[in-house]
Amino acid sequence: MQRQNIDLIQNLFQSRLATLEHLLKTAQAHFCDDESFLQQRIAADMFPFGTQIAFTCNQPRNFALWCDGKSADNLDPNVTSLAQAYELIANTNELLLSINVEDIKLDEMTRIYDKNLYIELSGSAYVNEFLIPNFYFHLVTAYDILRMAGVPLGKRDYMIHLVPFIKQAEA
């Protein structure tokens, strides 16, 4: 019974969802609970911050569903309230905690559908070539939207998962 790789993927998603929640809390404080920042976007043809939250959550959500033998099921992209945003993150974390498969799952083939087209990938490729790149794309886009909107964020906020590893150098 080996779960080393599944556990690494699960932990990666959980720690970066914590980053997303931190970004959301920082924005909430900056905008004094004015939820209109959820509609901020970088460009007119891009999705707003609230949608980026849903899209970020879709990747670990669909990983957990795939691990459970279920089809992908993307979240409603219309995230219009802070309560809804926090709920999506919490529910996604719950799904991640429910994963109960071994690393052998990563050898299975899977199909990603888009209308009449599909891509067939090994589970490992599905995670590394599809889920994780999409996850980071939407997480970074969420970060960028908040920066553009004036939220005082820096690289430390984005890399918050490393804070527990910071050590004081000996003099």
Give this prediction's pTM: 0.94
Domain region containing 30: 4-163
pLDDT tens figures, 16-25: 999 999 999 9
Q: Is residue 168 part of a domain?
A: no
Give the count of domains, the chain.
1
Q: What is the pLDDT of residues 70-99, one digit of tens each?
A: 999 999 999 999 999 999 999 999 999 999
In this prediction, residue 145 carries a pLDDT of 98
pLDDT at 171: 80
CATH number at residue 91: 1.20.120.450
Do 65 and 92 form a contact (C-beta atoms < 8 A)?
A: no
Judge whether 119 lies within some domain: yes
In-domain check, residue 12: yes
> In this structure, are residues 67 and 101 in contact, taking their beta carbons and an 8 Å threshold?
yes
**Across the chain, which distance is largest between two alpha carbons, in Å?**
63
The pLDDT tens digits for 27-69 are: 999 999 899 999 999 999 999 999 999 999 999 999 999 999 9
- Compute the distance between CA of residue 163 and CA of residue 87 in angstroms, rounded to an integer: 25
CA distances from 146 to 21, 53, 57 (A): 13, 12, 17
Distance (Å, rounded) from C-alpha 55 to C-alpha 47?
A: 10
